């Protein structure tokens, strides 16, 4: 059996990104999103996400914008997160990471009135110590599935008793990743077990003009759209969100 979670990162980044993610859920193969909660998200778009049925996780963020707690080891001289994940993790104090993630959990639950469906981290900072250990501890505490970008992350998650997909695909480099051709190619070659596609669809609005990946989000919006949905159905791929992970056995050889 081939199971696919298609997670759209960055709900909450801008209104255009939010609208694009919800459109990709309604018309394409996106099944799940993760929310950035240290900034403002319009109530109408929060309600639209809740009403849609999309899976909504927490996109733990220590590299974009300003922290909720103002913890000194997490910020630069201007009081904002450092964008470079390695630099940010190297400077961060575990107690301040713990407090900031706790504040982001609290804000998520206030906004969405429920626990996240799963956890992942902005700019993959959750792969780096000491952030990795704090994130896994929160996932264990709340019994939440997590993203695993590689075999090492997958082993750490499963050693902690956490649910996580067997395979991971996706990137946000200098070019748009989920072009129509790449999306269809990955669907055709999808391995057995549970896979996650990490994606970044959205509309490039004025708020996103600073981002080198802004226009690429619109390419991903097309690549993850109706043609991909039709292909997944034709290939017998089951689309789901992280909440369904417990239904499926571990793929042979996945670790």
Backbone phi, psi, residue 12, to 5°: 105, -10
Tell me the sheet residues that pair with 119.
58, 146
Question: pLDDT, tens digit, for every residue of 55-65?
Answer: 999 999 999 99
Average pLDDT on 100-124 reads 98
Give pLDDT, residue 209. Answer: 85
For residue 1, the tally of other CB atoms under 10 A from its CB is 11
| 82 neighbors 121 (Cβ within 8 angstroms) | no
Average pLDDT on 39-57 reads 98
Helix, strand or coil, per DSSP, at residue 34:
strand
For residue 254, the tally of other CB atoms under 10 A from its CB is 19
The closest alpha carbon to 8, from 200, 149, 171, belongs to 200
In whole numbers, what is the pLDDT of the chain averaged over residues?
Answer: 95
**CA–CA distance, 170 with 178 (Å, rounded to integer):** 8
Give pLDDT, residue 250. Answer: 58
- Does the predicted TM-score (pTM) go above 0.85? yes
Give pLDDT, residue 249. Answer: 66
Helix, strand or coil, per DSSP, at residue 101:
helix
Topology of domain 2-247, CATH: TIM Barrel (3.20.20)
**CA–CA distance, 19 with 201 (Å, rounded to integer):** 9
Higher pLDDT, 174 or 85: 85
Tell me the C-alpha to C-alpha distance, in Å, between residue 197 and each of 15, 56, 67, 111. Answer: 22, 15, 28, 25
Question: Domains of the chain: which residue ranges?
Answer: 2-247
Give pLDDT, residue 246. Answer: 76
């Amino acid at each position: 059996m081939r199971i696919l979670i298609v997670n759209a990162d960055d709900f909450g980044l801008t209104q255009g990104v939010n609208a694009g993610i919800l459109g990709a859920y309604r018309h394409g193969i996106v099944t799940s999103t993760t929310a950035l909660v240290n900034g403002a998200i319009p109530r109408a778009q929060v309600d639209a996400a809740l009403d849609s049925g999309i899976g909504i996780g927490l996109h733990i963020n220590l590299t974009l914008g300003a922290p909720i707690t103002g913890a000194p080891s997490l910020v630069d001289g201007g009081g904002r997160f450092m964008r470079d994940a390695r630099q940010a993790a190297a400077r961060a104090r575990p107690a301040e990471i713990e407090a900031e993630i706790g504040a982001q959990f609290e804000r998520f639950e206030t906004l969405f009135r429920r626990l996240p469906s799963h956890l992942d981290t902005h700019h993959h900072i959750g792969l780096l110590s000491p952030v990795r250990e704090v994130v896994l501890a929160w996932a264990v505490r709340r019994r939440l599935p997590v993203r695993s970008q590689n075999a090492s992350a997958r082993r750490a998650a499963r050693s902690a008793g956490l649910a996580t997909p067997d395979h991971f695909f996706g990137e946000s480099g200098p070019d748009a990743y989920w072009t129509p051709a790449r999306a269809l190619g990955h669907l055709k070659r999808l391995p057995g077990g549970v896979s996650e596609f990490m994606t970044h669809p959205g509309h490039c609005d004025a708020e996103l003009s600073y981002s080198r990946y802004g226009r690429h989000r619109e390419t991903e919006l097309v690549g993850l759209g109706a043609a991909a949905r039709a292909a997944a159905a034709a290939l017998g791929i089951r689309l789901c969100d992280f909440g369904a992970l417990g239904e499926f056995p571990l793929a042979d050889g996945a670790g």
